[in-house]
Amino acid sequence: MDPEPRGDLLRWQRELRLLRTARVTGSLGQVLSIGCGRGQFEQMLAPHAEYVLGIDLSPETVEDARREAERTGAANIRFECADVANFEFDQMFDTIICIGFLHHLSERESLKLLSRIYRHLRPGGLVHTQDPNIHGVLRHLGRLLLGDRYNDYHTPDERELDPESVRNTFIQAGFAEARIRHMDLSLIPGMQLLPNAPQWIMRVLSLLDRIWCASPAARWGSGFAVDAVR
């Protein structure tokens, strides 16, 4: 199994903080996590949730996630290898999470997915997504400095998204409200470019992100979250 980037824990801690501040109630309730990967974030969610179901396309990463859940004794987590487009949900959820997922889909596919998610979300439930920002200043700088090498850090199906367009897709899918939050400038790019950097550098980048995203320049950050309520 490949090692996780050193900033990974800081990223998931930030996502959990964002998610918990977005919830009106203390508990996340019954949670669906789409694109769960190795399940590190789902492990962090478990103490704050009644139940967590993580799904992912990769059998290898799902098996890694299952082994880790078994090792830690997390009894309220289940992982399934599945394509969300075809997976049959037999329950409703209070919280649905899509971290770094929508930007792998076309606009039409995103609307179809969000409409399906809406149908499996309880009234008052929350959807939390996080994706790359097309307006990110470091993205433009990266293209300028790296040229064609910029594409080495992205898969061919990835898109950079406009936050307002994503928000409008949520509203089109039926959600009562959708709030944009800018949450990243340098941590995620730093994890990609400097996966073996010392942890103190990742902490500096994380602190820089908090300062940047609290400023008027936040809209030009590298990543954004959308919190949508049914």
Q: One digit per residue, pLDDT tens: the chain, 230 residues?
A: 455 667 889 999 999 999 988 876 678 999 999 999 999 999 999 999 999 999 999 999 999 999 999 999 999 999 999 988 888 888 899 999 999 999 999 999 999 999 999 999 999 999 999 999 999 999 888 888 888 877 777 777 789 999 999 999 999 999 999 999 999 999 999 998 888 899 999 999 999 999 999 999 999 999 999 999 99
Q: Looking at residue 4, what is its pLDDT? A: 63
Domain with 62 in it: 8-229
Q: What is the DSSP letter of 161?
A: B
| Residue 3 within any structural domain of the chain | no
Q: Looking at residue 1, what is its pLDDT? A: 47
- What CATH number is attached to the domain comprising 137? 3.40.50.150
Residue 213 CA to residue 229 CA, distance in Å, equals 22
The total domain count for the chain is 1
Q: What is the DSSP letter of 132?
A: E
Q: Which two tokens stand for residue 107?
A: 């606009």
Q: Which of 125, 123, 102 is nearest to 34 (CA)?
A: 102
| Residue 150 within any structural domain of the chain | yes
What strands lie across the sheet with 223-229, from one edge to the other? 77-81, 51-56, 30-34, 93-99, 121-132, 223-229, 177-184
From residue 80, give the alpha-carbon distance in Å to each of 31, 35, 62.
14, 10, 7
Q: Looking at residue 132, what is its pLDDT? A: 96
Query: Half-sphere exposure (CA, 13 Å, Cβ side) for 33?
Result: 31
| Residue 1 within any structural domain of the chain | no
The answer, as to whether pTM is greater than 0.75, is yes
| Residue 15 within any structural domain of the chain | yes
| Residue 2 within any structural domain of the chain | no
Q: Looking at residue 152, what is its pLDDT? A: 75
